[in-house]
Structure 1
Amino acid sequence: MEKETIKLSVLTRLLNYALADKKQLGVALGLLFLASVADVSGPWLIQHFIDNNIAKDSFPTSELVILAAAYIGLMITTAWLRYLQSLRFNELAIGVVQTVRKQLFGKIINQPLSAFDYMPSGKLISRITNDTESLKDFYVHVIGTVLKNVTLILVMLVAMSLLSWRLTLVVLVLLPVVVGVMMLYQRNSSEAYRKMRDLLADINASMSESIQGMSLIQLMRQEKAFYNQFSELTAKHLAAQRSVIKLNGFMLRPLIDFLSGVALLSLVALFGVSGVELIGVGVLYAFISYLGRVTEPLIELTQQLSLLQQALVASERIFGFIDAKQQGYGDDPKPLASGRLECREVDFSYDGKQPVLQGINVGLSHRGFLALVGHTGSGKSTLASLMMGFYPVGKGLISLDGRPLSSLSHEVLRSGVAMVQQDPHILSASVRENVTLGRQSASEVDDRVIWQALEAVGLAEQVQRYDEGLDTLLGSGAANLSAGQKQLLALARVWYRKPKILILDEATANIDSGTERHIQQALNNLRQDMSVVVIAHRLSTVIDADEILVLHRGEAVERGKHHELLEYDGHYRQMYQLQQLGDHLQQLEGERGIDETSRTEKQEAG
């Protein structure tokens, strides 16, 4: 009962979207009614011809011409009205699907990050593409077909009752039986369609993850394993499709055809009992014609149940996202005046069970430099995400500019705090669009400011070498950037945006020492009017920090400046010594390589 209530509410919600444009819907329904009347009038004209001309052996030329012209005119009118009605319904349907798709995407991009922690990107893409396509089929085919056929059946029943109420009763017996078949089909096919849609989402997720991790798959020689996994999913999807096809093959057209045959035999039997003196040959022809026309809409209606079932299953998931809780923000619209940041007794857990951060206390003054260091899994990136407002604090308080972070509006938080991650995302767009990120319209973008941003981070010279300059396409376009250049481009975005707080999450992890110096220079420029929080494994990048916070298993175990922490025999000193040893070994390896190369060259020269 609960599932049926959910489906009814989903169906009602889908219909409400169509009712939003009442004028368009009203015109389409009017055209539909006129087309149905014109369509039903054809058999009536033929019945008139049989009973008043053929049966009486009377064929006046003028009357025959009028009947023929009227019949041809009705067929042309019916086709034209159907065409206009179909256009109206398709325009209405496509508009509704576009509205739903925009709503869905808008809700997804405003979901809290916790909603994406355990949701593969392939499944999200499936929601936006495949599920909304099912809605398109619902509006274009299901609603249009149902309205057309229901209207046609009602008009035909009225015409049949005017001809003979006795024969109309025979046809009316067929309708509740067909409705019962439709309800039985809907009940038995629901779970099969849901399983099929879920498996399709899993297939999309598998493809997306395999393509994204292609280098890892080939590196670890896991092509066969991933192929087998994908094959297993497609086999399950095929099995689900087969079960649906079997259900359709048994309960749709064959069963309706059987019921129609029973009704037709009943009409013939009634005609034989009643005799022509009660109904006439023309009336019987009209009824047989109408019965055929009633049967086809009923079969078509039943066949649309498969699309309806898919649409209901897809809609449950779509509305689940649309109705999901959105990222929460405050209502304080005052921009940040400084980059002052403070964390007081901050606790956090992703799942509410396993603590990730416990009792974190740290402060950062305006234009200050805070470093977060620690081994992998210590909670550094989680603390940075809390500072960005990506997750709500479990316990304690984070304040920016002396105000609780939770009280700040979306605009204030996102314009006041920026983050550069380890692998910045580069759009498949121009350099200009990658720097501005659509924050201004094309007419408001000042290229001089963009060049100043690129100059401030040391990337202007590189962009000047491109033939197209700021119009050069990046990402999958004409130019590819190295890991270090991506970091510099991300810093140019920050300079262009000019926030009050900048957070760098492992921004120097995968770059060479030369690029690291560029980033350090860019940071020095950026720190003139903003505070900087740096998460780093390479401790050489945080030597000048005003305060270094050492995290271990979610707790702050040490804090102080670089030289102070080196004097204390703790985690930081051990990490620093290990990195110094590693750098020294790399240097020795490099010198050995140079000596061997030199020795080889001398031997070849000798």
Structure 2
Amino acid sequence: MLLNNTPNLIRFWTVLKRLLKYIKIWKKKLIIAFFCLLTASITEVLGPILISYFINHIIVPHNINNVLMLSLIVVFIMLQITSVILNYFQTIIFNKTAVNIVQNLRLDVIKSALKQPLHVFDTQPIGQIISRITNDTEIVKELYDTVIATVFRSIVLIVVTLFAMFTLEWHMASIATIIFPMVIIVMLFYQKKSTPILRKVREYVEHINNKFNEIINGMQIIQQFSQESKFQKSIQKTSNLHYLSRMKILRLDGLLLRPLLSLFSAIVLCGLITSFKFFSVNLFEVGILYAFISYLGRLNEPLIAITTQQSILQQAIVAGERIFELIDTPKQIYGSDCAHLKSGLIQIKNLNFSYKKKQPNILNNINITIPSKSFTAFIGHTGSGKSTLANLIMGYYPINQGEIYIDKRPIQSLSHKTLRKGISIVQQEPLILADTILKNITLGRNISENKIWKILETVQLANLVKSMSKGIHENLRERGNNLSIGQKQLLAIARVLIIHPKILILDEATANIDSETEKNIQKTLLSVKKFSTLVVIAHRLSTIMKADKIVVLHQGKIIEEGNHNMLIDRKGKYWNMHQAQSNKTLRNI
């Protein structure tokens, strides 16, 4: 759905109708709230009629009837109490419903974000997505708990008030209706002027969130290189632009809303006063005149309320556009083959790949077969395409040209569930949740604590965990800041070894582990071959010397492949890399 390519008015109604669809589930509660509103509005409007009756039948004729006076007072007070109680209940119902609706909307946004292709996150700042999930949905909430309730209440008040006015005296009521075309013109003009400004406001909020996200994540680097002032100025510049845009909206509100509508009401009141010149004085009773003046004031308030909601409504529509833009983004496409992988056989044929169509290929004519339950390593300098190849085997990106077969099945035919259960990856910078060690390993899976301890023994983390006061129930800090980089990698390895995937990929997963731990991990990896195909991407050649096959990538092409001894004998690229790392090791001793 390309909202930006449609005219503004059509886009406005398209987004509004789509937002209102979320109300369907809660329509019964909303009907109750609307009934409360309607009844409360009627009780409000009946007040001036009672006072008008009091003036015309008691004050003007000096007919002091105690019973009648007391009855009118009691009825008037009861009407006001009823109005207050019903307004309270409708406010509670509307707000409760709004929270539930926004919760559903927010879940839809999160579900959509979780299913986005990874290239979306490569190009779109995280702060923008967070802004849509939090700020934009919070603005939409006001549509449900403020705009809808206020507009309905105002319309009911206007209709009931007009009915009462025409019932009392239709000449004066006709004069009062002059205000409506003037209000409609103001509302249309306000919508035209405010929409582009509000879009800018949302964009600036998004940029501010993104900047804060960058600052918080990069605080160590910012302070290390004394860049606090630069980032502060950047935030200040965007905040100033946001402030200027907000001021434009406030000026529009200040000019077009209450002051202008109050002027319209004054004009109508002057019209009512002038009407005495054209009609017989006897036509108007004092009580009716009071009622009309009272109704005119009451008519002014709902009109102001409706027009005031224009600002909130426009903000909600702009926020809705941004939310639906994310929801409607094409999702990651997977196949329908749900059968579990029987083997870890990988066949890559004539594979070419680039992240964007107009960019040069990162991988060129890759052809390789990785047997099931084998140990294959990919090495090469930074930018040679190793991690890209790992991501393609994981099914993270659609293939541009060529084929990848997993278990003799095209990878694009495999379902999401089949891929995720059959293929696992441990990356160089694993994600550690701010939760217990147990939950970081299980990730919601039903796994016994005994099995967790066995895996911790395997990856050399058991002693560390035992030293903690709560053991596997110890809470880790955000991003695992109370663990070393190597310990986080070991925890990530434990996370995938728990399920015995048919294919296990390690993308520089041992880069930050000391030599002693690396030897233990090598033993673990060799044991993994009993049930998994092992694909290891590494810079440190010591990690992959016992691999069945070593594939050397250079500028996206395979230039050498074979085992360690074969490649050493050839004295090619691999031999040069081995010599360079050996000399570096000797210099460090």
TM-score when normalising by structure 2: 0.97
Partner Cα distance (2:81, 2:368) in 1:
80
Corresponding residue to 1:426 among 432, 436, 441:
432
**Cα drift, residue 8 of structure 1:** 1.0
1:271, CA displacement in angstroms? Answer: 3.1
Contact conserved, 1:10 with 1:312, CA < 8 A, in 2? yes
**Deviation of 1:159 (Å):** 0.9
Shift of 1:476: 3.8
Q: Tell me which amino acid in the other structure corresponds to 2:314.
A: Q
Aligned equivalent of 1:382: 388
SS of the equivalent of 1:266 reads helix
Q: Cα gap change, 1:184/1:101 in structure 2, threshold over 3 Å: closer, same or farther? A: same
Q: Please list, as runs of the form range in 1=range in 2, the aligned pairs for 1:450-599 lying within 5 A after superposition.
A: 450-476=452-478, 480-587=482-589
> What is the identity, as a one-letter code, of the residue corresponding to 2:307?
T
Deviations 1:504-539 (A, max 9, x none): 111122222122123212212322210111111111
Corresponding letter in the other structure for 2:398: P
> Equivalent residue for 2:445?
439
**Distance of 1:463 and 1:192 partners within structure 2:** 55
- How many angstroms apart in 2 are the aligned matches of 1:287 and 1:8? 36
Which range moves more in the overlay, 567-576 or 473-482?
A: 473-482
Answer whether contact 1:340 1:402 (CA < 8 A) is retained: yes
Q: Is the 8 A contact 1:153 1:294 kept in 2?
A: yes
- State the Cα deviation string for residues 538-565 of structure 1 (Å, max 9, x = none): 1111111111111111111211111212
CA distance, structure 2, for counterparts of residue 477 and residue 423 of structure 1 = 10
Amino acid at match of 2:555: R
**Contact map agreement 1:131 1:314 (CA 8 A) in 2:** yes
Q: Return the offset for 1:255.
A: 0.7
1:171 counterpart residue number: 176
1:360 aligned to 2:366?
Answer: yes
1:371 is paired with a residue whose SS is: strand
Task: Answer whether contact 1:368 1:531 (CA < 8 A) is retained.
Answer: yes
Q: Would you say 1:328 and 2:361 are equivalent positions? A: no
What amino acid does structure 2 have at the position aligned with 1:518? N
- Deviations for 1:331-377, whole angstroms, at most 9, x for unmatched residues? 11111111111111111111111211111111111111111111111
Output the CA distance in 1 between the equivalents of 2:555 and 2:290. Answer: 86
Are the equivalent residues in 2 in contact too, given 1:508–1:516 (CA < 8 A)?
yes
Give 1:408's match in structure 2, choosing from 405, 414, 419: 414
**Aligned partners of 2:502 and 2:531 also within 8 Å:** yes
Q: Secondary structure of 1:522's partner?
A: helix
Question: CA–CA distance in 2 between the matches of 1:18 and 1:266?
Answer: 42
* Structure 1 pair 342–475 and aligned structure 2 pair: CA distance change class (3 A): farther
How far residue 91 of structure 1 moved from its aligned partner, in angstroms, is 1.6
Offset at 1:451? 1.2
Q: SS at 2:178's partner residue? A: helix
Unpaired runs of at least 5, structure 2? 1-5
SS across alignment from 2:542: helix
State whether residues 329 and 409 of structure 1, in contact with CA within 8 Å, keep that contact through their aligned partners in structure 2: yes
Identical counterparts, % of pairs: 44
3-state DSSP of counterpart to 1:439: coil
1:264: which partner in 2? 269
Q: 2:11 aligns to what?
A: 6
Does the 8 Å CA contact 1:348/1:393 hold for their aligned counterparts?
yes
- Distance in 1 (alpha carbons) for counterparts of 2:431 and 2:480: 17
Equivalent residue, structure 1, for 2:3: none
Aligned match for 1:79, one of 75, 81, 84 = 84
Are 2:281 and 1:285 equivalent residues in the alignment? Answer: no
Q: Distance in 1 between matches of 2:229 and 2:55?
A: 72
Rounded to whole Å, the distance in 2 between the matches of 1:282 and 1:294 is 18
Structure 1 window deviating more from structure 2 (125-134 vs 514-523): it is: 514-523
Match of 2:247 in 1: 242
* Partners of 1:176 and 1:498 in 2: CA distance: 72
Structure 1 alignment gaps of length 5 or more: 588-606
What's the offset of the Cα at 1:212?
0.5
Query: 8 Å contact 2:424–2:501 — kept in the other structure?
Result: yes
Give me the whole-angstrom Cα distance separating, in 1, the residues matched to 2:213 and 2:481.
24
Contact 2:432 2:480 in 1 (8 A): no
Partner AA of 2:60 in structure 1:
A
- Given that residues 126 and 213 in structure 2 are in contact (C-alpha distance below 8 angstroms), is that contact kept between their aligned partners in structure 1? yes
Partner of 2:25: 20
Does the 8 Å contact 1:491/1:522 carry over to 2? no
**Alpha-carbon distance, 1:222 to partner:** 1.5
Shifted more, 447-456 versus 472-481: the winner is: 472-481
Deviation, 1:73, is 0.5
Question: Following the alignment from structure 1 to structure 2, what is the Cα–Cα distance between the partners of residues 271 and 473?
Answer: 80
How far is 1:477 from its partner? Answer: 9.8
- Over 3 Å counting, the alpha-carbon distance change for 1:477 and 1:334 in structure 2 is closer
Change in CA separation of 1:479 and 1:210 when aligned onto 2, cut-off 3 Å? closer
Superposed CA offset, 1:356-405 (max 9, x none): 11111111111111111111111111110000111011111111111111
C-alpha RMSD of matched pairs (Å): 1.4
Q: 1:51, CA displacement in angstroms?
A: 1.3
CA distance in 1, matches of 2:510, 2:172: 85
What's the counterpart of residue 129 of structure 2? 124
Offset of residue 123 of structure 1? 1.3
One-letter amino acid of the structure 2 residue matched with residue 395 of structure 1: Q
Q: Distance in 1 between matches of 2:480 and 2:12?
A: 50
Quote how far apart the aligned CAs of 1:75 are. Answer: 0.3
Distance 2:203 2:406 in 1: 43
> Do 2:480 and 2:488's aligned partners in 1 also have CA atoms closer than 8 Å?
no
Aligned-residue offset at 1:63: 0.6
Task: Quote the Cα distance in structure 1 between the aligned partners of 2:529 and 2:142.
Answer: 55
Aligned letter for 1:509?
A: A
Which has the larger displacement, 53-62 or 92-101? 53-62
The secondary structure found in structure 1 opposite 2:105 is helix
Q: Cα deviation per residue 1:9-38 (whole Å; 9 max; x = unaligned)? A: 001111121233221121111111111111
Cα deviation 1:463-506 (Å, max 9, x = unaligned): 11212111111134998221111111111111212211111111
Note the C-alpha offset of 1:578. Answer: 1.3
Q: Is the 8 A contact 1:36 1:78 kept in 2?
A: yes
Runs (4+) of structure 1 exceeding 3 A deviation are 476-479
Residue 162 of structure 1 pairs with residue 164 of structure 2: no
Contact 1:340 1:401 in 2 (8 A): yes
In the aligned structure 2, how far is the partner of 1:234 from the partner of 1:426?
Answer: 32
AA matched with 1:377: G
Q: Which amino acid aligns with 1:408?
A: L
